A and B are shown apart, each in its own frame.
Chain A
Amino acid sequence: MTTAPQKNIRNFSIVAHIDHGKSTLADRLIQATGGLSDREMKDQVLDSMDIERERGITIKAQTVRLAYTAKDGETYTLNLMDTPGHVDFAYEVSRSLAACEGSLLVVDASQGVEAQTLANVYQAIDNNHEIVPILNKIDLPAAEPDRIKQQIEEVIGIDASNAVPISAKTGLNIDLVLEAIVERLPPPNGDPDAPLKAMLVDSWYDTYLGVVVLVRIIDGHLRKGDRIRMMGSGAAYDVERVGWFTPKMVSSEALGPGEIGFFTGSIKEVADTRVGDTITDDRRPTDAALPGFRPAQPVVFCGLFPVDAAEFEDLRAAMGKLRLNDASFSFEMETSAALGFGFRCGFLGLLHLEIIQERLEREFNLDLIATAPSVVYRIRLTSGDEIELHNPADMPDVVKIDTISEPWIRATILTPDEYLGAILKLCQDRRGIQADLSYVGNRAMVIYDLPLNEVVFDFYDRLKSVSKGYASFDYQLTDYREGDLVKMQILVNAEPVDALSMLVHKTQAERRGRAMCEKLKDLIPQHLFVIPIQAAIGGKIIARETVRALRKDVTAKCYGGDVTRKRKLLEKQKEGKKRMRQFGKVEIPQEAFIAALKMDE
């Protein structure tokens, strides 16, 4: 196979909200162009997914190369780029989008535009994409194509008059989608004679092939046997295999300008490949790297600890394996008086955190405790130095701190009108600053600037509950802003408990402190003495509760026959005490920490 002529290449992605039919449409496009037979459609796609799972591969971005003979008689190469679409992977998504010239915007013809659709479509527009709006599920009785078209024009501000009405489920008008891709999306226009310039879109680890790198060729050619260099990391590799996916893996001699495909080399770890990096010919490098490259930057941190201390090494091994495939996930060892040995982990966002935690638990059969997520604070010291704080426990002495800044996000929330009041209150309570409020048909669209710190806590859950699940939410990181942030400590019997300390805004401190003390009061077992539980900022106590001392705890009747039974009870108690953590003279069961850290207000 040779490389395709650029004028007959179309590179596109699909932008859609969850459940609006992205995958179904992708399947139909593969089917209609004969990428797979009807029978293979089931067998093949599912099989390869099973293998992916077995190998523990997360293919964050997937491409499929389709051959389509259009009505004009010409055969086109269509590269469909499937992206994860979640804000946590915003940077990855933006790189995927940068690898395409156009996007299909899929909107459910009855549900309309959602917050997530918006965030992604704006990214596509930012990447100068030509957008083809597609109204899906028009076969459903509730479909209102005209209203949704109008909504797309009002909310997104693009022409929707020639939106393609389809049903991905029944296959209705899939041919029109293919024609629209060919007619309305521009071809790439790279320089075939220039030195190789390619963008690293994604990479993953394959047990048999090693690291597989997905690339978009901008200029020049990538050939088997070439020696290439990654301009960001500086590393050079020999190209072993080149090819693309149909979705089956197909080998080729080379990839030419405008094409999307993969290569493999002697790359050991996914961490050696950075999304957005520029790949060039080691002997004849390009002058300028592609703009916009930046290494993955974790924004949310939390501690992960094994419930059973004996599983610590297993956890380390499992994390190492996951990181092979996901360089954006970082971890370093952490010791907590409360939870023992574990890891401080960095994630791209909350979803990323959940995915990693779930994979560790499910694929590696580990029982984990996750501490409350926190964000990365930037602290300017009086010495003029600036440090990043990943763990409240590491906060420097207050007298050494000049200012503390915290990350802010811009959140877009779409909600039926009736829940608007409650949502505004929630955002306001979380120190939000309203940026915009408008109506999209009968739905309100609010844009809020919020501190990420207030969102990582339990914002999703609260939003879901106040809107009965109808509100949709998306956000992007905007900037760091100085804030009146203080470290709140929790003292149990006058001993500070590091695992429970947190950075909070001064205005939220008392509420959070009180909630934590009340919760701990019920979680810490009674001792032989009174235990004060206090929340403090610096030396100042802002909340206090007391665990009363035990008054009566003695077995009334105990004779010979009972010894065995009582001893077994005592053994259980001793076992329980082993799982407890000692703070001064107070023993706190591990479960209490888990419950306290999972606290919702």
Chain B
Amino acid sequence: MSRLAVPAGSARAADAAPPPADPGFGVYVHWPFCAAKCPYCDFNSHVRHAPVDQARFAAALAAEARAMAERAPGKRVTSIFLGGGTPSLMAPETVGAVLDAVAAAWTVDADAEISMEANPSSVEAERFRGYRAAGVNRVSLGVQALDDRELRFLGRLHDVDQALAAIRLARETFPRLSFDLIYGRPGQTPEAWAAELERAIGLASDHLSLYQLTIEPDTMFEKLYRAGKLAMPDEETGAALYAVTQAVCEAHGMPAYEVSNHAVPGGECRHNLVYWRYGEYAGVGPGAHGRLVSGGRRHALATAREPERWLARVESWGDGVDADDILSEEEAGDEMLLMGLRLVEGIDLRRYRAIAGRGLDPGRLADLVAHGMVETIGPDRVRATRAGAFVLDAVVADLAA
């Protein structure tokens, strides 16, 4: 198969409808345990060999949700996201207890999106019905690859057959489904990736997360990489892989709405949109982050990362908050740029001025527009262009400087 070119003039997601003025309010709940640590993962995940006391953790999560609600009272929750770690190691009753606690702490919208991450192993798939019953209406499966050898390379505990079965069952169980794939694996050509992606789209429901493999600090892959044992694609191949991703997904009606996230129109993950639109969210559980506005200032909250330490703190003080920093206008502006420019819809300049206390540097903006990295949409929005998305980190650094 020849390398796919991005179709000229093809519609990009979010070209039509302007985003809502209110990004909503999300609640993130972190379940920090995994059956095994994946070699590429730098998330806050921990492997425990003794069984985890789920009831005790559920109680602590509930307590912390109440504590967060005291910091941000009276909010209407538009989304809840159970992430990890591996939240599908939670018993359905634990999930139910946590969701009940969130509902007790705030008001949850009737049509709130309630997502959870799950591994596509057969053991976990058996609990799908229980999660649905507990209130979960969207699941995000960590499929990662559609090739057994690649799955072993990625340290995954499932195989392709289990993944296919899990996808089938999830589609039957939940109204909405997403799954993740990791590409840019050593030796993977753009052609091979395009084929794998085509197959994945055939299995997909309304959403796909497609992440290019990156070497994160303090992971097993980093050690291998430093030792010269991991032949990562060069910049040129990385760019070709990213281009092919855009082309294939657009051709199948699942354009990117964010750097690595694709959806059919309306299928976007509302919870993650809260982050990217730089709305307010509460983080519950070990190592969870939140952004809450109180007294007109944006607070950056983070809880203790180590699960047992977090548990002890919640049980003695009511929350596990480790850091509660009031962000300066510059810091908040930086965060809004970092997140907002990831979205195809871009950012609202009026909102940026309100948050950052200044406008974007017109000179830098003009340079980036001249280089074709950034474009304006009407008088009040800017976004990264298709070309700009390839080098977004450099674009953001330029705009933020």
Q: Does B235 contact A (CB under 8 A)?
A: yes
Q: Which residue of B lies closest to A559 (CB)?
A: B275
Beta-carbon contacts under 8 Å, B26-57 to A = 26, 28, 30, 43-44
- Size bin of chain A's contact surface: 20 to 34
Q: Report yes or no: B390 in contact with A554, Cβ–Cβ below 8 A.
A: yes
For B288, give its contact among A527, A557, A561, A570 (CB under 8 Å). Answer: A561
Q: Does A571 contact B (CB under 8 A)?
A: yes
Q: Which residues of chain A are within 8 angstroms of B367 by Cβ–Cβ distance?
A: 585
What's the nearest-Cβ distance from chain A to residue B88, in Å? 18
Beta-carbon contacts under 8 Å, B371-397 to A = 371, 373, 389-397
Beta-carbon contacts under 8 Å, A534-568 to B = 550-561, 563-564, 566-567
Beta-carbon contacts under 8 Å, A554-600 to B = 554-561, 563-564, 566-567, 570-571, 573-574, 577-578, 585
Q: Which residues of chain A are within 8 angstroms of B392 by Cβ–Cβ distance?
A: 553-555
Q: Does A309 contact B (CB under 8 A)?
A: no
Beta-carbon contacts under 8 Å, A328-383 to B = none
Q: Report yes or no: A551 in contact with B342, Cβ–Cβ below 8 A.
A: no
Q: Report yes or no: A563 in contact with B281, Cβ–Cβ below 8 A.
A: no
Q: Report yes or no: B397 in contact with A574, Cβ–Cβ below 8 A.
A: yes
Q: Which residues of chain B are within 8 angstroms of A122 by Cβ–Cβ distance?
A: none
For A567, give its contact among B212, B239, B281, B334 (CB under 8 Å). Answer: B334
Q: Report yes or no: A570 in contact with B338, Cβ–Cβ below 8 A.
A: yes
Q: Does A529 contact B (CB under 8 A)?
A: yes
Contact code string B45-71 (vs A, CB < 8 Å = 1, else 0)? 000000000000000000000000000
Bound-complex Cα distance A529 to B394 (A):
11
Q: Which residues of chain A are within 8 angstroms of B275 by Cβ–Cβ distance?
A: 559-560, 563
What's the nearest-Cβ distance from chain A to residue B301, in Å? 10
Q: Does B185 contact A (CB under 8 A)?
A: no
Q: Which residue of B lies closest to A558 (CB)?
A: B342
Bound-complex Cα distance A573 to B367 (A):
19
Bound-complex Cα distance A566 to B335 (A):
8
Q: Report yes or no: B259 in contact with A558, Cβ–Cβ below 8 A.
A: yes
Q: Which residues of chain B are within 8 angstroms of A553 by Cβ–Cβ distance?
A: 390-394
What's the nearest-Cβ distance from chain A to residue B333, in Å? 10
Q: Does A528 contact B (CB under 8 A)?
A: yes
Q: Report yes or no: A556 in contact with B214, Cβ–Cβ below 8 A.
A: yes
Q: Which residue of B lies closest to A573 (CB)?
A: B397
Q: Which residues of chain B are within 8 angstroms of A528 by Cβ–Cβ distance?
A: 368, 371, 373, 391, 394-395, 398
Q: Does B142 contact A (CB under 8 A)?
A: no
Bound-complex Cα distance A552 to B238 (A):
6
Q: Report yes or no: B242 in contact with A577, Cβ–Cβ below 8 A.
A: no
Q: Report yes or no: B373 in contact with A561, Cβ–Cβ below 8 A.
A: no
Bound-complex Cα distance A563 to B291 (A):
10
Q: Report yes or no: A551 in contact with B390, Cβ–Cβ below 8 A.
A: yes
What are the nearest 4 A-B pairs in CB distance?
A552-B238, A554-B392, A551-B239, A561-B289
Residue pairs across A and B with Cβ atoms less than 8 A apart, 7 shown, are A551-B236, A552-B236, A554-B390, A554-B392, A558-B339, A560-B283, A564-B302
17 additional contacts (CB under 8 A) given A552-B238, A573-B401: A528-B373, A551-B236, A551-B391, A552-B239, A553-B393, A553-B394, A554-B259, A555-B392, A556-B260, A559-B275, A560-B274, A560-B281, A566-B338, A567-B331, A574-B397, A578-B401, A585-B367
